[in-house]
Amino acid sequence: MFSSQQRTRNLEVSDTIIKSPRSFLMAALSSLKMASLGIGATSALVNVLALTGSFFMLQVYDRVIPARSLPTLIGLGIIAATLYAFQGILEVVRSMLLVRVGLSVDERFGATVYDSLALFPARVQVHGDGLQPVRDLDVVRTFLSGPGPTALFDIPWMPFYLGLCFLFHIWIGVTALAGALMLVGLTILAERMSREPAKEAAKIVSERMALAEATRRNSEAVLAMGFGHMLGARWDEINSRYLGNHLRLSNVTVTLGTISKILRMMLQSAVLAVGAILVIRQEASGGIMIASSILLSRALAPVELAISQWKSFVAARDSWSRLTRLADLISVDGREVALPKPEKTLKVENLHLAAPGSKNSIVRNISIELQAGDSVGVIGPSASGKSTLARGLVGLWPPVGGAVRLDGAALPQWDPHALGKHIGYLPQDVALFGGTIAENIARFDPDATSDKIIAAAKTAGVYDMILQFPQGFETKIGEQGSALSGGQRQRIALARALYGEPFLIILDEPNSNLDADGELALSRAILSVKARGGIVVVVAHRPSALAAVDKVLVLTNGQMQAFGPKDEVLRRTTQPGPAGPQPVRLIIGGEEMAQ
């Protein structure tokens, strides 16, 4: 899934995209060949019809005025109006096609971007608020749906217009060519001056949004402890860098855009002047003088538009580059064979785990094997690797060594969506989603049945609690479950972990927010899973969570110190209290566990 060949191939594609505006646009349209052909054909017709104004002026000055023929003028006017109407229709069609291209790109990357929000924090070290892929998709879609791509489609027609200028007269062509070269030079200058500020802008925006989101989520702590002004100072510093970068990038675009506009108007006047000289010397007609001025304006308009849209183009190009990397990194090869439901063993073989983006192992050389109906408590002092092991057992953190196997199959061999149905996971930091209690318990499964939801709630011991709410299972819990207490959130999250009777259930500090009734319900839930042949792993810092488990795994400094039957392991790792055998203190790795 993350092979070096994939990364190398994708980086080569991205480098090609960065080097050329046209290659970026063609890459964006590569999977939409019919749309690309349609836009290209429409652009060709639009640029041919754009000659209407020039040739109308040419005919008026060279035919109508000398002949003083009103019928000829009326005929030319009807023809010109018809051609202008067709041009307008084609412009609308091209714009509508580009809007649909933008939507198609969104459809192509939408699922990838959403998957990255869940996958990336467990695979790589994420900087900022982690929402950069969402912003990248918005930027690309907005650019492709706007006027920028039309300029890139029209620029290749510049030689055609310049060639017509040379057909009018050699000096008109030379003047137009000189102006075109100057505008192309401005375009290259815009690229060089805006590339680095654009890259820096993406980083600062991500950092800025991360602080804003963190402040919003932790507003209670900020207000209660009164350190909002300190975060405000940090916000001012980040915002100052953001505004400075925005100003530099805008200055480049505005300055070069204004220069290109003034230069184009000067060139039009220059072509008129050259044409006037040619008319005086009787080397050209008045119609050619006017038509060449209009023709030059049309030839240079796409370049001027491209410069004015350069800020958007650079942002879209960089966003597209990141999206192509993203799609390659999280691509999952299709599984031709669907593995059967696991129902026998969980085997951990020489497991080594490290945090995303780190090479330093937190958990080292863990080897255990559990059979259906087994339950194990993972205990140890703080920072001993308990939660890391939990993440590894459910496949959140891929091993840097060793393997986790269900019925002999390593976790990467499973289809991720199919594997999720066989795993129940209660993380240490409980997070629910905005919606109803029923939706959260059912993991937002649209095909969930009432029987399965109620069964999970009863197994978790929250059925009666849910019925106490005015709307029962249809109660809206708000974002992050804000309408619930910490204990209620944890118990509903436990029901979510039990939904569908998964084979492997990992509970990380499941009793951290529970009262006595909640802990009793937790023990009953563990016993229920064991009775139906599931496997339960309970990560605990409080021995009360171990009441229903049969085995205990002791971790210290990321390594397994003991593993075996609960009573035997606890006997070896406990010491009597100062006043005699009671109370019992659990000493692991020199640290006393809370009771």
Alpha carbon distance 342, 400 (integer Å) = 24
Kindly indicate the confidence band of residue 357, based on its pLDDT and cuts at 50, 70 and 90: confident
Which of 190, 149, 150, 139 shows the shortest CA–CA distance to 315?
139
**What are the φ and ψ backbone dihedral angles of 409, each rounded to 5 degrees?**
-95, 125
H or E stretch covering 175: helix 170-217
pLDDT band at 226 (very low <50, low <70, confident <90, very high): confident
State mean pLDDT over 220-244: 78
Mean pLDDT of 245-269: 79
Token pair recorded at residue 485:
């207490």
523-528: list long-range contacts, CB under 8 Å, 24+ apart: 523/547, 523/548, 524/461, 524/548, 525/459, 525/460, 525/461, 525/494, 525/498, 526/375, 528/459
The arithmetic mean of pLDDT across residues 526-536, rounded, is: 92
Q: What stretch(es) of the chain map to CATH 1.20.1560.10?
A: 4-329
pLDDT score at 580? 43
Q: What is the mean pLDDT of residues 312-321?
A: 79
- Strand pairing partners for 551? 376, 565
Report whether pLDDT(505) > 90.
Answer: yes
Q: Characterize 132-167 residue by residue with b for buried, 16 or more Cβ atoms within 10 angstroms of its Cβ, and e for exposed.
A: bbebbbebbbebbbbebbbbbbbbebbeebbebbee
- Token readout for 581 is 């055998």
**Gap between the Cα atoms of 393 and 494, Å rounded:** 17
- Determine the average pLDDT of the residues in 202-221: 75
What residue type is assigned to position 410 of the chain?
A
| Mean pLDDT value of segment 167-176 | 86
User: Which of 90-99, 214-223, 276-285, 497-506 is predicted with the least confidence, judged by mean pLDDT?
Assistant: 214-223
Which has more confidence, 296 or 525? 525
Number of other residues whose CB lies within 10 A of the CB of residue 423? 20
Q: Report pLDDT for 498.
A: 92
Q: What is the pLDDT of residue 319?
A: 80
pLDDT at 121 over 50: yes
Least confident span in 79-93, 105-119, 472-486, 497-511? 105-119
Rounded to an integer, the average pLDDT of 465-470 is 90
Of 38-42, 171-175, 189-193, 327-331, the least confident: 327-331
Q: Is the pLDDT of residue 507 over 60?
A: yes
- Least trusted range by pLDDT, from 29-33, 483-487, 549-553: 29-33
pTM for the structure as a whole: 0.66
Which of residues 28 and 413 earns the better pLDDT score? 413
pLDDT band at 590 (very low <50, low <70, confident <90, very high): very low
pLDDT confidence of residue 23: 52
Q: Over 60: is that where the pLDDT of 126 sits?
A: no
Highest mean pLDDT, choosing among 103-117, 295-309, 493-507: 493-507
Task: Say whether pLDDT at 504 is over 90.
Answer: yes
Does the pLDDT at position 91 exceed 50? Answer: yes
pLDDT of residue 13 exceeding 50 = no
d(CA 177, CA 292): 12
Of 178-182, 213-217, 470-474, 485-489, where does mean pLDDT reach its minimum? Answer: 213-217
pLDDT at 455: 92
* Amino acid letter, 171: W
Single-letter amino acid code for the residue at 360: N
Provide the pLDDT confidence category of residue 22 given band limits of 50, 70 and 90: very low
Q: How confident is the model at residue 356 (pLDDT cuts 50, 70, 90)?
A: confident
Q: How confident is the model at residue 397 (pLDDT cuts 50, 70, 90)?
A: confident
> Per mean pLDDT, which of 22-31, 194-203, 313-322, 368-377 is the most reliable?
368-377
Average pLDDT over residues 317-342: 73
pLDDT of residue 26: 52
Alpha carbon distance 579, 584 (integer Å): 10
> What pLDDT is stored for residue 16 in this prediction?
35
- Examine the pLDDT at 311 and tell me if it is beyond 90: no
What fold characterizes domain 4-329?
ABC transporter transmembrane region fold (1.20.1560)
Quick one: tokens of 451?
Answer: 């029987």
Is residue 85 very low, low, confident or very high in pLDDT (cuts 50, 70, 90)?
very high
Model confidence at 400: pLDDT above 50: yes
Decide: helix, strand or coil at residue 483. Answer: coil
Q: Does 56 score more than 90 pLDDT?
A: no
Question: Looking at domain 342-422+504-509+536-595, which of 3.40.50.170, 3.40.50.300, 3.20.20.70, 3.40.50.620 is its CATH number?
Answer: 3.40.50.300
By percentage, how much of the chain surpasses pLDDT 90?
A: 15
Per mean pLDDT, which range of 221-230, 237-246, 433-442, 486-495 is the poorest?
A: 221-230
pLDDT over 60 at 236, yes or no? yes
In 3-state terms the chain splits into helix, strand, coil percentages (rounded to 5) of 65, 15, 25
Which residues of the chain form CATH 3.40.50.300?
Answer: 342-422+504-509+536-595
As a whole number, mean pLDDT of residues 531-558 equals: 87
DSSP codes joined into one string, 252-316: HHHHHHHHHHHHHHHHHHHHHHHHHHHHHTTSS-HHHHHHHHHHHHHHHHHHHHHHHTHHHHHHH
Average per-residue pLDDT for the chain? 79
What's residue 231's pLDDT? 77
Residue 244: is its pLDDT beyond 60? yes
Q: How many other C-beta atoms can be found within 10 angstroms of the C-beta atom of residue 491?
A: 28
Q: How confident is the model at residue 467 (pLDDT cuts 50, 70, 90)?
A: very high
